[in-house]
Amino acid sequence: MKNLSPKDLVFIVTGTLSFMLLVVLYALTRLAGTELPIWVILGIPAINFIIGYFLLSALLEKFIYRRIKVIYKTINNLKAPKNAQPLAVNITDDILGNVEREVVDWTKRQTQEIEKLKSSDNYRKEFIGDVSHELKTPIFNMQGYLHTLIDGGLYDEKINKSYLYKASLNLDRLGAIVEDLETISQLETNALMLDIRKFDFIRMAKEVLDSLEMQADLRDIKLVFKDNTLKTLAVMGDKERIRQVVTNLLTNSIKYGKAGGTTSVGIYDMHDNILIELTDNGIGIAEEHLPRLFERFYRVDKSRARDQGGTGLGLAIVKHIIEAHHQTINVRSTVGVGSTFGFTLKKA
């Protein structure tokens, strides 16, 4: 019954009524004890069927399906491409069933779209608040130092150089935030062209580890490769951007690592790709923070993160760089145990 067309439905209804009329006529003739000609007994239901069929078809077409067809065609035309031909609907089609399916699908899509819009709106509000806060801090600091110097502090040898130096640091921080925002914008809009070519990942990673060795020594953290690491490993990618990814992840592991701990680089074969994992035994990240960890300006511990420096955009840039290579990045972490960031690269 669910897949019946309007014509089928009219045929069944009028046929059922005509058959019932035939039964009634036959029963009446038997009860009255009269004999009507067979053509009368069959003819009246037949005429009723013909008239009823065309009459019901016209009524359905005019008062019900004409209105339903407008809804059905509107939904389909909204879904169809701009240059597509308008949908033709006949009364022989299962319009009710189609409309039901279309309305259910449309409702689901609209609900999903509304949820996405709400999520985007919340993200936009948070992002604007985070940007204003991140920019406000260095700007207010610089204002304080410079106003103090203008008001006479410039001639005080005890503070003039110190305040100029602090203002310079805040200006550098402000510039770093703007530069990182510009980098993310370019990556999102594909305006930043990647220089994809073959390079030795092992060699590049060793260079990064060597450059961060002094910073790691200050916190007594060891930077090592895991056992059985290959001597060389050719991959395809933008070498300098991947260097930025590795540097950012290793720097974070040093900042939030445990004094006397270790950060290791592991490399695993995945057929066409390789998996690079950077694992530390630091403070770890609570599970509720993991889904938002790669968002711009998202900080697990805001006060401590700002004390450690950085723009709050590092992990967002890392994610965009890896996705620009059409690869994936993920994180797993346990509080008090440590964290592992893993990303993939294409083999050369």
Structure tokens at 345: 């690269």
Q: Hey, which residues does 196 pair with through a beta bridge?
A: 238
Q: What element of type H or E holds 186? A: helix 160-188
Helices and strands of the chain, counted as H and E runs = 10, 7
Distance, in Å, from the CA atom of 279 to the CA atom of 276, rounded to the nearest integer, reads: 10
What string of DSSP letters covers 125-150?
HHHHHHHHHHHHHHHHHHHHHHHHHH
Q: Are 314 and 252 in contact (CB under 8 A)?
A: yes
The CATH fold of domain 124-188: Helix Hairpins (1.10.287)
Which part of the chain has CATH 1.10.287.130?
124-188
Residue of 283, 267, 144 whose CA lies nearest to 206 = 267
What residue has token string 């809009």?
Answer: 189
Q: Are 181 and 191 in contact (CB under 8 A)?
A: no
* Contact residues for 303 (Cβ-Cβ < 8 A; gap 6+): none
**Residues for the chain: how many in total?**
348
pLDDT value of position 326: 92
Which part of the chain has CATH 3.30.565.10?
196-347
Q: CA geometry: angle at 180 spanning 174 and 182, to 5°?
A: 105
Per-residue pLDDT of the chain (348 residues; tens, 9 = 90+): 555 666 677 777 788 888 887 777 777 777 776 666 777 667 777 887 888 778 877 776 666 666 666 666 666 666 555 554 554 545 445 555 666 677 777 778 878 888 877 776 776 776 677 777 778 888 888 999 899 989 888 888 888 889 899 889 888 888 888 887 888 787 777 777 888 999 999 999 999 999 999 999 988 999 999 877 777 789 999 999 999 999 999 998 898 888 889 999 999 888 889 999 999 988 888 888 888 888 877 777 655 445 555 567 888 889 999 999 999 999 999 888 899 999 999 998
Q: Are strands 262-270 and 222-225 parallel, antiparallel or unpaired?
A: parallel
Q: Are strands 234-238 and 338-347 parallel, antiparallel or unpaired?
A: antiparallel
346 exposure class (CB count in 10 Å sphere: 0-12, 13-18, 19+)? middle
Distance, in Å, from the CA atom of 128 to the CA atom of 254, rounded to the nearest integer, reads: 29
Give the global pTM: 0.60
Q: What element of type H or E holds 343? A: strand 338-347
What CATH number is given for 196-347 in this structure?
3.30.565.10
Q: Are 159 and 153 in contact (CB under 8 A)?
A: yes
